[in-house]
Structure 1
């Protein structure tokens, strides 16, 4: 009997080990995230001969690049190199085919981009595209480079990161899968791996005093885009009567003093793909929880004479739009995302659903409510959700626009001084050029009882600027084998420029190159000699300085 029990225990032990081994995956580099940055990082690792695993909480790859943001925020496209430029080249090749133009001809489309032609024939790049085209480009990358992607795998943020001697040794997802690697890359919009690894970070806006900046912190009365209330509109349910209470979507909190830091985040929204073709258009449905009173503030904006509804229905191919926020009351759900970076997965899903409910209700309101001018309703009737986009999600984007969440406090903190050219940036791993761009962070009541927005910033750099390798690195005492190419080490204002999809692709590629070199030399990522990294990046056609 004793021999039988020993044999039984041995068998069970072997079964247990086999089961655990089946749930253990190893590679030189583990990339956490499914964003555009994650895919370029994985490609670069493969190009340099290292094994790599992409652990993606997302099913669809590409983040915002495939999630509706097709009207690319390029800035100066000359500084977009490497795999980022290859992505836009492949988009160009797709639209060079006649078969790509199903709902309109190439000539009917025109060539409007954001500060640049959509189609650059001379450089064989295209900067404006449909969401499903971008996703297919990323999937083509996956097939071409043989990337191993583990989808729908969510980091266990409580106990899923194992560290030893200052290094991450293993991460575990909620499904029980474990991933061991030599270097890890957090390429998520939220910075979940970074945070779970014990790396310091910040959320919200710093005070101007912290880094001697001008455009950080609270910015009451600063209007640099068209996202403010032009007219004096009462904040109360009964105009001019504070006792009647505030209208929906207005905060009762005071805005704070200009220049002081706070916990607030610039607003999120969904970048909807809308269609104007009758055969590819899904009418905006009336949401089950629709409440027209929450859009009373917009009705008052119309009554005051505002008429810019369609200003940011930006055209993408095939009679579609990348529809973004515009005006004082639009698709940005202002003030409803503050908890998102630190929230649990379940809490984040509730926040995302609240944004979806708000935005779907807004679209229905625009098309159907009598308080909306008739000419707006008539034009809205020409639009609907694109039937051939996001087909497994009711034609709704699968990615909310996380404009900003956590930001690492790393080896080098980029500030507006770096972005605006007031100082030289050391150890460039890529370049940015877009404006210091923050959407509104709050909607409040003025002393006079009127409603106003706050937080919208748009300050243009004089020229493109370099982004330091140190922005990708935690402090060495915190973690020696992690790189962070999305939630980079920067102030709120600097991140407003860095946070563009082409830049995230650039930084993902550079992070992976650094990871490979650190592995080959057996050193901490912080100890990598910059000249060695620079040589590789230039060979990979990254643009590092003006």
Structure 2
């Protein structure tokens, strides 16, 4: 055959290969972020700022997690240690509310400007810490648009066989829709820690014993009343008061109480942070949920009989005559003891758990607004409130994100404990700061030895000053995975996570995780081998606050 024939044949072959369509279900990027939380979006923005390609693979349709899901009365602690992209988020919230168009249901000068420790609107720092859900979601969507971040929504990790590992690294992740995302680095930015669990790294669910890390506030904490979320007066737990043979009232566990300090597999209670409105033109009556049974709330009726009158203490005001409504008191929106299976549950099982939480909480609100066992003054006041018509409009005005206060937690080379948070030891390799109290909601509602009902697990121990968070908390052990960072389910004990688990901190850790990922890509290093000095230098450049001396 003449040489020209072979050249012609080779050319045809190349042309055919070049004409082949790429597999549309195989997507590649420098960095793959799994999750749609506030941490996921700040991580994606940081990656873009550092010149890296990034894809957000989000099981959620709405971005921003709890920050856009009803938690508008921000748990901040000391705001001076919130820097970088987290502070940029709160600055953008401030700018949103500078527009008169943002005040539809209330005049700006009529807003009470109440925040946690500081005014909601900080004119000097040009930040705002209290906001409506739709305002937060807009900021996250603006980030995505401005930085041209590619987001794949409603994409759920195949937790059984969707993580491809090779030589200690994640090569790709596959979702239930069949899409495969190939990357050099991966970040788990979910509240549940699904990617890290599927990757086979070490993690923990539940409370460690106090012996595990030499702590005081871990494990069972019966008789510790540091918030007002307990039964002040003796109340019988039985259907017929004082008669154990009649059986327990709903929402009370018959489990035996372990000794204080004992570890278990239980997690603190979840709820929905409802956005309620008191404007007559922007509120909907509390709906009567399917299967509603007023007997489910008999225990609350008995609480009212004791004279308890704190029903509205956590109707925290946010702009436009709305509230971020949180749990408060001995029987409230926290669905105590009904979430233990959630961290490890299948998607379908989680969906059922979430639905049961929704029915419980909707039923509670309907009970408070309508049942004759509720004091008349409470019913009258409750009927001034309702679900906000202009929030969560594609979900029946109900939050699209349940408050997953705690699920899995990574066990890395460094585990943050209460000793770090309370200042008893110096934290190595800081990448951000926290300042909130060791904050755990109740974990059990049980019958005491004296035959009364009581809650257990609620703690609130304040640190003396803000504390640093170690780089070691967001990386697994090197022998387990070299290219994974965990921005939410960080390596920490139950008590330490109770402080770390605040939305501003998740944004901080998202930015720091992406910074480390980008630097590790540039140096072709495992995240565990990244020189801390390089990470520290870049974080400082980008406004991250890592030690007290840098506070804003």
- TM-score class, shorter: over 0.9
Shift in Å at residue 255 of structure 1?
A: 1.9
CA distance in 2: counterparts of 1:306 and 1:389, whole angstroms: 31
Alpha-carbon deviation of 1:285?
A: 1.3
Q: Which residue of 1 aligns with 2:204?
A: 202
CA distance, structure 1, for counterparts of residue 119 and residue 36 of structure 2: 28
> Is residue 384 of structure 1 aligned with residue 415 of structure 2?
no
For structure 1, the 5+ residue unaligned runs are 1-13
SS at 1:21 equivalent: coil
- Give the whole-Å Cα distance in 2 for the aligned partners of 1:451 and 1:405: 26
* Structure 2 CA distance for aligned equivalents of residues 175 and 23 of structure 1: 9
State the secondary structure of the residue aligned to 2:281: helix
Q: CA deviation at 1:449?
A: 1.2
Alignment match of 2:543 (pick from 529, 541, 544):
541
What is the match of residue 40 of structure 1?
Answer: 42
Match of 1:181? 183
Q: 1:234 aligns with which of 233, 236, 239?
A: 236
Q: What's the secondary structure of 2:23's corresponding residue? A: helix
Distance 1:105 1:255 in 2: 51
Query: Which deviates the most, 128-137 or 106-115?
Result: 106-115
Taking the TM superposition and a 5 Å limit, the aligned residue runs for 1:86-105 are 86-105=88-107
Runs of 4+ in 1 over 6 A off after TM superposition: 17-20
- How much does 1:91 deviate? 0.2
2:290–2:359: 8 Å Cα contact kept in structure 1?
Answer: no
5 Å matches for 1:174-323? Answer: 174-323=176-325
| Residue 158 of structure 2 is aligned to residue 156 of structure 1 | yes
* Separation in structure 2 between the aligned mates of residue 381 and residue 538 of structure 1, nearest angstrom: 50
Query: Could you report, residue by residue, the CA deviation over 1:358-394 in whole angstroms, capped at 9, with x for unpaired residues?
Result: 0000000000000000000000010000000000000
CA distance in 2, matches of 1:298, 1:512: 46
Deviations 1:222-271 (A, max 9, x none): 00000000000000000000000000000000121100100110000000
Query: Within 2, Cα distance between the matches of 1:160 and 1:460?
Result: 41
**Per-residue deviation, residues 67-98 of structure 1 (Å, max 9, x unmatched):** 00000001000000000000000000010111
CA distance in 2, matches of 1:177, 1:114: 43
8 Å CA contact 1:386, 1:395 repeated in 2: yes
Secondary structure in 2 aligned to 1:45? helix
Distance 1:109 1:347 in 2: 42
2: CA distance, partners of 1:58 / 1:235: 39
**Which residue of structure 2 lines up, in the alignment, with residue 483 of structure 1?**
485
SS of alignment partner, residue 274 of structure 1: strand
What residue is the counterpart of 1:358 in the other structure? 360
CA distance in 1, matches of 2:430, 2:449: 46
Q: 2: CA distance between counterparts of 1:520 and 1:285?
A: 54
Moved more, 182-191 or 282-291: 282-291
- The alpha carbon displacement at 1:18 in A equals 6.3
TM-score by length of 1: 0.97
Distance 1:289 1:243 in 2: 26
Query: How many residue pairs were aligned?
Result: 532
Q: What is the alpha-carbon distance in structure 2 between the residues aligned to residue 119 and residue 99 of structure 1?
A: 17
Superposition RMSD in Å: 1.1
Among 443, 458, 461, which residue is 2:460 paired with? 458
Residues 68 and 137 in structure 2, CA contact (< 8 A), matched pair in contact too: yes
Give TM-score scaled by structure 2 length: 0.96
1:436 touches 1:460 (CA, 8 Å); kept in 2? yes
* Residues 255 and 442, structure 1, Cα contact 8 Å, conserved in 2: no
Question: 1:106 deviation in Å?
Answer: 1.0
Residue 468 in 1 paired to residue 470 in 2? yes
The residue number in structure 1 matching 2:173 is 171
| Aligned equivalents of 2:290, 2:400: Cα separation in 1 | 20
What is the Cα deviation at residue 19 of structure 1?
Answer: 7.6
251-260 or 488-497: bigger deviation: 251-260
Q: Could you say which residue in structure 2 is the equivalent of 1:497? A: 499
SS for the counterpart of 2:244 is strand
Q: Does 1:396 align with 2:403?
A: no
